[in-house]
Every structure is written in C-alpha cells, then in structure tokens.
C-alpha cells in the first residue's frame, strides 16, 4: 500500500535519510524502530506529504505523492490520519471540538450526528467524561488518547503514529500501546508506528523494521525480528531488553 523507493532527505548539511526502501503491508501494524535522532519521524512525515524527499519516491496505492500539492495531495491525505508525538491538539478548542474538528471541516457528518460520533469515540478511548476539558487541563496520556480519538473518528484507512508513548510512564505507555492494538483489531486500518520503546512494541506489532544510518537495515514479522542475527539489530533489541542499573551501594554496604 505504501512504498518508499530510494528516499533521501537532508536538512542543510545534515543527511537524515540516505536511500530508504520500504514497503508497508496493508491492513497490518508496522513499527519502525531505531535509535533516537535517526530520522524515524522524518520518515513518517514523508508518507503523508508533510515533507518532500530530496530524491526518491513515495507511493500510496499506486499514486506517487512526493510531487503532489494542493487538492491532489489533499485527496490522498483524506485517507490518512496521524497521531503526533505531542498529540498536537488545538489549544483553543476543548476535547470534544478537537475530535469533532475533522468531521466538521471535511463535512463527513451533519452537525446533528457529530455529538454521537464524537462521544462514542471518546468512550472507546476512555475519555467519555472529558469532552469539556481543554488540552492544558489534560495529562500526557489523556492528550494522546484524545489525539487517537481525533485520528480514528474519521474512519481512516491509514494511521501514522509518531512515537505515541514518548514521555509517558511505563504503565500509561502500555495502556496506549494496548489501545492502539485493540483499535487496530476493531477497525482494521493500516498502521505505521515509529517508536524506540523496545521490547514493548513487539507484542502489538505485526511487522517491525529498523532504521539506522538513514536506511532500513532490517524488516521482518514481529515474532521473527527478535531472532535476527544482524549485530546492529541485536544490539538495539538487547539494549531495550536489559534490566535497569543496580542500586548504588551506600557507605558501609558491600
């Protein structure tokens, strides 16, 4: 469904993507992992045309989108939704209006149907009583869930998740991961998630790909990925699975 061929991208003197070749399986949840600062978010933004490659192509269902602009690009984007790292909720609107925003702006539902659709989605993500709150009044986890509700309410075919659990405590991160997985199972969209939260992503992903030095160096089914013998992959996966540092010995202790 989504194919990237030879995608290169740089910012000034810094090369970020150096020839990415990637094929995203339709209807599956694919997670792209890699160390921080490798360009995972940059890669994700190419898929929805927020960034244009310096070289290479980005195909979405047979349409090459990297040169599209205006109404042609909007037509492709209507199939997408995206959950940003900070949720990117609109500050001036409460949660209800944030979730209703794409329905109203894209004229996907009459105003009389909007409350039912929005409240139904807020219930699904566990924010049933929070519609009147503004983003500044929400915790990090609530913002992510509100962002997820806004992404899901339009019934997209493809959802992009940009580090959805960054900044959350482990319990909330697991809640968000499980919510993404359950929504994926219910709605069946194609999901592409970028994350560095190994090993938490393995149980919820169908496919895992690794971005390193600006290229995809490995891609496999989630159950097979942890068994890959590539040393770079193994180092990253094992680093994520290692326990934390032992407690520091105090005076008088041995």
Residues that bind other proteins (CB under 8 A): 45, 48, 50, 74-75, 77-78, 80-82, 84-86, 88-91, 101-102, 105-107, 154
In whole angstroms, the minimum distance from the beta carbon of 68 to other proteins comes to 12
In whole angstroms, the minimum distance from the beta carbon of 91 to other proteins comes to 7
In whole angstroms, the minimum distance from the beta carbon of 51 to other proteins comes to 10
In whole angstroms, the minimum distance from the beta carbon of 221 to other proteins comes to 28
Nearer Cβ to other proteins (48/118):
48
Nearer Cβ to other proteins (159/168):
159
Tokens at residue 143, please?
Answer: 């913002």
In whole angstroms, the minimum distance from the beta carbon of 75 to other proteins comes to 8
Nearer Cβ to other proteins (60/81):
81
Nearer Cβ to other proteins (136/171):
136
Nearer Cβ to other proteins (101/187):
101
Nearer Cβ to other proteins (162/200):
162
In whole angstroms, the minimum distance from the beta carbon of 87 to other proteins comes to 9
Nearer Cβ to other proteins (84/202):
84
The length of the chain, given as a count of residues: 254
The side-by-side arrangement of strands in the sheet containing 63-64 is: 14-24, 2-11, 55-60, 63-64
Tokens at residue 214, please?
Answer: 């600006």
Residue 190: burial class (beta carbons within 10 Å; 0-12, 13-18, 19+) = buried
In whole angstroms, the minimum distance from the beta carbon of 147 to other proteins comes to 8
């Amino acid at each position: 469904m989504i194919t990237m061929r030879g995608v290169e991208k740089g910012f000034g003197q810094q090369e970020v993507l150096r020839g990415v070749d990637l094929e995203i399986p339709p209807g599956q949840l694919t997670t792209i992992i890699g160390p921080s600062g490798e360009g995972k978010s940059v890669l994700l933004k190419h898929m929805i045309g927020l960034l244009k490659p310096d070289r290479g192509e980005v195909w979405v269902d047979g349409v090459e989108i990297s040169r599209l602009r205006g109404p042609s690009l909007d037509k492709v984007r209507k199939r997408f939704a995206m959950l940003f790292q900070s949720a990117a909720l609109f500050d001036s609107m409460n949660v209800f209006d944030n979730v209703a925003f794409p329905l109203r702006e894209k004229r996907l539902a009459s105003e009389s149907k909007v409350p039912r659709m929005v409240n139904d989605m807020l219930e699904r993500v566990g924010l049933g009583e929070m519609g009147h709150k503004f983003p500044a009044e929400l915790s990090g986890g609530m913002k992510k869930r509100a962002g997820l509700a806004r992404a899901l309410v339009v019934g997209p075919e493809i959802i992009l998740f940009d580090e959805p659990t960054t900044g959350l405590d482990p319990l909330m991160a697991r809640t968000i991961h499980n919510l993404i997985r359950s929504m994926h199972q219910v709605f069946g969209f194609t999901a592409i998630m970028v994350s560095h939260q190994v090993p938490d992503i393995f149980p919820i992903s169908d496919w895992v790909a690794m971005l390193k030095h600006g290229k995809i160096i490995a891609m496999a089914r989630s159950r097979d990925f942890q068994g890959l013998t590539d040393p770079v992959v193994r180092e990253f996966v094992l680093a994520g699975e290692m326990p934390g540092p032992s407690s520091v010995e105090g005076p008088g202790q041995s």
